[in-house]
């Protein structure tokens, strides 16, 4: 304080004709102008978040996959083939499968082939396991996935563990999850791999940073946390971040405290608008994994939204992914990368 008013004091001594009240008025004006200047500077230098387009990033990955597949084919090898099993007629599952097979078809003659085996919801677990075993032994099938969720009479864990780990492009086999947690090379689940790739390609720093993962699902939240907290010097390099996992039992106020400390917030709880602007640290990276269908108040139609209040948070965050067009397209792209990795593995084993 003394340093900031000393020029005024000097002026006061030189111009001793100024009254004390006049001096105090000038001091108040000086402070007011300084406060306004600082506020103006902050408002001018603050920018809206960089919106990370998962769609554009996925296109880049598709081009990389095409080049990689061409190398395989030039070497006299067959193109990678993705086998998909769809059980029942769940609309969301059909949409997910359609997106995956469409991505393979977009790659066209330069990319990955695929086919989908559809089974009725009444299929028995034994019959489904027999189909998986047959596809495991089919050398033409590079990668294999069974779309989840499954009907209630089928044990999902038994199905995930029935897929050969080296063909498990979803990364859900117990061996792949175990290797992931140990920082070893493995098939990484596509959505966590998408989040990791977005962070890596965007240049978001993770080493020593605070990360809050909202969501603890075994297929998304947990693998994301493993990728970010493990050692970057391991066989499968991690992010060396300090990771906290929140979930549905975390009190709202505690969640807010945790997100305010986070340099990176990953929202994967499946709760529309869970993360709001008051919960985000200035300049934080916010990655929205949520895919929620809500009714539009104006049109009455269903629309997709994430777990983040996008319009509010983008004014405060440093980076943010949209929904749709963020993690979703990247998830499909990483599934294609896993399929190519499976094809390469088959050539050496």
Query: Which residue shows structure tokens 């190519």?
Result: 340
Q: Which of 63, 67, 102, 64 is nearest to 82 (CA)?
A: 102
- For 175, counting Cβ atoms within 10 Å of its Cβ (0-12 exposed, 13-18 middle, 19+ buried), the class is middle
Omega of the bond leading into 51 within 30 degrees of 0 (cis): no
Q: Which of 287, 237, 337 is nearest to 52 (CA)?
A: 287
Report the number of secondary-structure helices (H) and strands (E) in the chain.
Answer: 12, 11
End-to-end CA distance of the chain: 72
Q: In which element (H, E) is residue 118 found?
A: strand 113-119
The per-residue b/e assignment along 101-122, b for 16 or more CB within 10 angstroms, e otherwise, is bebbeebeeebbbbeeeebeee
Neighbours of 54 (CB within 10 A): 25
How distant is the alpha carbon of residue 218 from its chain centre? 15
Q: Where are any strands of DSSP class E within 176-326?
A: 210-214, 242-246, 264-267, 285-288, 292-295, 302-305, 319-320
Provide the β-strand partners of residue 117.
85
β 285-288/292-295 pair status: unpaired
β 210-214/113-119 pair status: unpaired
Asked if residues 332 and 101 have their Cβ atoms less than 8 Å apart, the reply is: no
Task: Tell me the two tokens of residue 246.
Answer: 């929140």
Q: In what order do the strands lie in the sheet with 81-87?
A: 113-119, 81-87, 143-146
Among candidate residues 66, 167, 168, 170, the one labeled active-site is: 170
- The verdict on whether 316 is a catalytic residue reads no
- The verdict on whether 100 is a catalytic residue reads yes
- The verdict on whether 170 is a catalytic residue reads yes
Among candidate residues 147, 167, 209, 314, the one labeled active-site is: 147
Query: Which residues are catalytically annotated?
Result: 100, 147, 170
């Amino acid at each position: 304080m003394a340093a900031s008013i000393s020029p005024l004091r000097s002026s006061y001594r030189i111009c001793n004709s100024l009254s004390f009240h006049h001096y105090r008025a000038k001091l108040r004006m000086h402070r007011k102008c300084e406060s306004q200047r600082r506020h103006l500077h902050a408002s001018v230098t603050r920018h809206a978040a960089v919106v990370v387009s998962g769609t554009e990033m996925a296109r880049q990955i598709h081009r990389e996959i095409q080049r990689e597949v061409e190398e395989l084919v030039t070497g006299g090898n067959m193109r990678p083939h993705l086998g998909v099993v769809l059980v029942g007629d769940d609309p969301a599952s059909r949409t997910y499968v359609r997106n995956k097979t469409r991505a393979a078809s977009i790659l066209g003659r330069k990319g990955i082939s695929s086919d989908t085996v559809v089974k009725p919801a009444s299929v028995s677990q034994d019959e489904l396991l027999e189909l998986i075993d047959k596809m495991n032994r089919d050398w033409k099938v590079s990668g294999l996935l069974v779309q989840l969720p499954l009907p209630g009479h089928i044990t999902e864990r038994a199905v995930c563990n029935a897929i050969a780990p080296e063909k498990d492009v979803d990364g859900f086999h117990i061996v792949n999850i175990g290797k992931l947690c140990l920082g070893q090379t493995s098939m990484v689940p596509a959505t966590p791999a998408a989040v990791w790739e977005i962070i890596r390609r965007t240049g978001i720093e993770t080493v020593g940073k605070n990360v809050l993962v909202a969501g603890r699902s075994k297929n998304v939240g947990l693998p994301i946390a493993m990728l970010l907290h493990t050692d970057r010097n391991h066989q499968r390099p991690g992010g060396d971040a300090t990771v906290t996992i929140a979930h549905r039992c975390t009190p709202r106020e505690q969640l807010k405290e945790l997100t305010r400390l986070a340099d990176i917030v990953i929202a994967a709880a499946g709760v529309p608008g869970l993360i709001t602007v008051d919960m985000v640290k200035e300049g934080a990276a916010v990655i929205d994994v949520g895919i929620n269908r809500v009714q539009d108040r104006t049109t009455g139609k269903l629309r997709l939204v994430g777990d983040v209040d996008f319009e509010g948070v983008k004014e405060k965050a440093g980076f943010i992914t949209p929904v749709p067009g963020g993690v979703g397209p990247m998830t499909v792209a990483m599934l294609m990368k896993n399929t190519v990795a499976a094809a390469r593995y088959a050539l050496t084993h």
